[in-house]
Structure 1
Amino acid sequence: MRSAVVTPEGDRIRWVELPGEEPVRVYLHGLGATAPAYFAASAVHPRLAGRRSLLLDFLGHGHSDRPEAFPYTLEAHADTVAQALTAAGVAAAEVIAHSMGGAVAIVLADRHPDLVSRLVLVDANLDPLPPTPGTAGSSGISSYTEQEFLAGGWAEVRDRAGAHWWSTMRLAGRTALYRSAVHLAAGTTPTMRELLLELKVPRSFLHPEADGAPSGAGALEAAGVAVVPVPDCGHNIMLDNPEGFARAAAEALARD
């Protein structure tokens, strides 16, 4: 376990680090998740092992600190990740990022281009989502006010999330979970999709084959983003089909 101070108040981002060769590989988790739980098996899979790998938890999540005053915007997450990577001596990293982590990774690559050499996005959020009451993800959480969520809405989300997701979601600070969800659902300006289309690094977008091609797949491919279906999985590709994910991620990392 390693850590770095990333706010003026002394809050720390923490990550599990695996030794290996350069370039560094950085794994970023989704909303209410934690990178070691979601990516440990992938990072040591024979197709992906051997690189120095940082399995990093965002502020408010997992092993990292949970400051109440932090805004938890996508930009703030990206900037604190950048501070952690800089403190760790990381540059030109290969970033593998799931769901909300993919949105943060896109913003990271846009705002701190020296830190990212390629992106492998795993069913990442690319577009804003309208608030949708009665669901467990960012659109459902953002349908509450912050006061409503903290007063008991979090328990309703817990019950909808199910035991697996709640096992890591419960580690997130409730303020952090709420604000991260709200800002993820709202997206960025320009949108994450628009930022992704303009990035110059090699980019791949892995998605569950059963869901069909993601929205705007043609425009993504026209901009040089490899759109890669992975069979036998849902949103948590790396957990549902570890072998298929490792194969697809390794191929994506080998792209020019």
Structure 2
Amino acid sequence: MRDAVVTPEGDRIRWVELPGREPARVYVHGLGATSPAYFAATACHRSLIGHRSLLVDLMGHGLSDRPTHFDYTLESHADALAVALDEAGVAGAEVIAHSMGGSVAIVMAARHPRLVSRLVLADANLDPITPAPGAPGSGGIAAHSEQEFLRGGWEQVRDRAGAHWWATMRLAGREALYRSAVHLTRGTTPTMRELLMRLPVPRTFLFPEADGPFRGAEELRLSGVTVVPVAGCGHNMMLDNPDAFARVTAAALGS
């Protein structure tokens, strides 16, 4: 485990690092997750092993600090991650990012282009989401006020999430989880989809094949984004079908 101070108050982002050749590969988890748990099998897969790999936990999640003064916008997440990568001596990384982590990676690539040479996005959030009580994921969390969530709304989220997701979600700070969800549903201006289409680096977007045609896929393809279905999985494709996920990721990276 390694770490870097990323805020003026001394808060630290932490990551698990595997040695290997450059360019480095940076793995970024989704909301309420943690990269070592979600990406260990991917980073060590026979088709991907051998590169320096950083399995990073975003601010407020997993091994990283959980400050309550941090606002947890997508921009703040991206800037904090950029500071950590600078401290780690990373530049021109191949970034593999899931769900909210994909949104953060897009924003980081737009704001800190020297850090990213290639993006592989696993079912990343590209558009704003309308919060709704009882909805899964960020939409259900953001339907609460922060006070409601901290006072007990998190228990409803825990029960809907189930034991598997809650195993990592419980490691996140509650303010971090709530604010991250709220800002993920709000998205960015321009939207993450628009930012992605403007990026000059090679980009691949992976989605579960069972979800059917991906909305806006043709528009993404016309902007140079490769859109690839992944068989035998749901949203957590690296856990549901790790071999298929690793193979399509390796293909996207040219490995």
Classify the TM-score, shorter chain: over 0.9
Residues 47-196 of structure 1 aligned to structure 2 (within 5 Å) = 47-196=47-196
**Partner Cα distance (1:118, 1:81) in 2:** 16
**Partner Cα distance (1:252, 1:211) in 2:** 20
**TM-score, normalised on structure 1?**
0.99
**Partner Cα distance (1:66, 1:14) in 2:** 11
Are residues 1:30 and 2:24 paired?
no
Q: Post-superposition shift, 1:115?
A: 0.1
Residue 16 (structure 1) aligns with: 16
- Tell me which amino acid in the other structure corresponds to 1:191: T
**Partner Cα distance (2:184, 2:74) in 1:** 7
The size of the alignment, in residue pairs, is: 255
Q: Post-superposition shift, 1:215?
A: 1.1
**Partner Cα distance (2:194, 2:155) in 1:** 35
**TM-score, normalised on structure 2?**
0.99
- Tell me which amino acid in the other structure corresponds to 2:225: V
Residue 118 of structure 2 aligns to a residue in which SS?
Answer: strand
Q: Post-superposition shift, 1:136?
A: 3.1
Are residues 1:242 and 2:247 paired?
no
Residue 229 of structure 1 aligns to a residue in which SS?
Answer: strand
Are residues 1:40 and 2:40 paired?
yes
**Partner Cα distance (1:59, 1:121) in 2:** 19
Residue 216 (structure 1) aligns with: 216
Residue 190 of structure 2 aligns to a residue in which SS?
Answer: coil
**Partner Cα distance (2:21, 2:212) in 1:** 36
- Tell me which amino acid in the other structure corresponds to 1:35: S
Deviation string 1:83-123 (CA, Å, 9 cap, x unpaired) is 00000000000000000000000000000000000000000
**Partner Cα distance (1:94, 1:126) in 2:** 19
Residue 24 of structure 1 aligns to a residue in which SS?
Answer: strand
Residue 95 of structure 1 aligns to a residue in which SS?
Answer: strand
Q: Post-superposition shift, 1:234?
A: 0.1
Residue 194 of structure 2 aligns to a residue in which SS?
Answer: helix
Q: Post-superposition shift, 1:211?
A: 0.3
**Partner Cα distance (1:214, 1:132) in 2:** 22
Residue 204 of structure 2 aligns to a residue in which SS?
Answer: strand
Residue 248 of structure 1 aligns to a residue in which SS?
Answer: helix
Are residues 1:254 and 2:254 paired?
yes
**Partner Cα distance (2:2, 2:122) in 1:** 25
Q: Post-superposition shift, 1:132?
A: 1.3
Residue 97 of structure 2 aligns to a residue in which SS?
Answer: strand
- Tell me which amino acid in the other structure corresponds to 2:66: R
Residue 64 of structure 2 aligns to a residue in which SS?
Answer: coil
The runs of 5 or more residues in structure 2 that have no matched partner are none
Q: Post-superposition shift, 1:214?
A: 1.6
Contact 1:135–1:157 (Cα < 8 Å) also in 2: no
Deviation string 1:139-164 (CA, Å, 9 cap, x unpaired) is 11000000000000000000000000
Deviation string 1:27-75 (CA, Å, 9 cap, x unpaired) is 0000000000000010000011000000000010000000000000000
**Partner Cα distance (1:214, 1:142) in 2:** 24
- Tell me which amino acid in the other structure corresponds to 1:180: S
Residue 230 (structure 1) aligns with: 230
Contact 1:16–1:54 (Cα < 8 Å) also in 2: yes
The runs of 5 or more residues in structure 1 that have no matched partner are none
Deviation string 1:126-181 (CA, Å, 9 cap, x unpaired) is 00000111023111100000000000000000000000000000000000000000
**Partner Cα distance (1:144, 1:219) in 2:** 34
Aligned-residue identity in percent: 72
